[in-house]
Chain A
Amino acid sequence: SQQGEEDPQALSIQEGENATMNCSYKTSINNLQWYRQNSGRGLVHLILIRSNEREKHSGRLRVTLDTSKKSSSLLITASRAADTASYFCATDAGNFNKFYFGSGTKLNVKP
């Protein structure tokens, strides 16, 4: 399986702090995507980084990708209580548009 694995499984921080989550995967990819899931809801797409990119920014989100280490990180800066959610990475190897998800990082941002 080329499923991604997130680390840590759970993270608890204070509002205003930065949150960093990591994702490792097993095989070569076309791109890697990060999703957020609020409790009881579906997943929401956050950001996509292609295999030939090393860093991507979107608002308070910063994603890095190291294909030599088969790993990615998601940084949320100046976190807010509303960022409390589970975060998943998903890899796309281009095989019939199949995506493989990790088991997620549960982020709790305390006000």
Chain B
Amino acid sequence: DAGITQSPRHKVTETGTPVTLRCHQTENHRYMYWYRQDPGHGLRLIHYSYGVKDTDKGEVSDGYSVSRSKTEDFLLTLESATSSQTSVYFCAISTGGERNEQFFGPGTRLTVL
């Protein structure tokens, strides 16, 4: 699993509240990603990071922000949670280089009531 952990693993929150999900890696990989997974949509990229303080938007970034102040931590914040953000969120790293494989965390199941 390339030493990737996510916290919390499950969260239930109410519409309008801010939520922060944390991704932590232990192997000093440069690239980190946040995806959401919904039935019928596969994985969709929310934001990604290519280094400390270097982040960019993915295909479904509206309503989300990210921060990466340390190599090992990548935070995803839902500024004001909505029911449409109920989903399973996966963090990933990529190894870069010639093989460039992605390794995924165990996921966070978020329910917004």
Give A residues with C-beta under 8 Å from B. 1, 3, 30-31, 33, 35, 40-45, 48, 88, 90, 92, 96-104
For the residues of B in contact with A, the DSSP-based class is strand
A3 to B31, alpha carbons, bound, how many Å? Answer: 20
**Is B58 in contact with chain A by the CB < 8 A criterion?**
yes
Query: 30 A-B Cβ contacts within 8 A?
Result: A3-B42, A30-B100, A35-B102, A42-B1, A42-B90, A42-B104, A42-B105, A43-B43, A43-B92, A43-B102, A44-B104, A45-B103, A48-B101, A88-B43, A90-B43, A96-B48, A96-B50, A97-B31, A97-B50, A98-B45, A98-B48, A98-B58, A99-B94, A100-B45, A101-B35, A101-B42, A101-B43, A102-B42, A103-B42, A104-B42
Task: Enumerate chain B residues within 8 angstroms of A40, measured Cβ to Cβ.
Answer: 107
What is the interface size of chain B, counting residues whose CB is below 8 A from a CB of the partner? 28
Q: Mark B29-42, 1 if CB is under 8 A from A, else 0.
A: 00101010000111
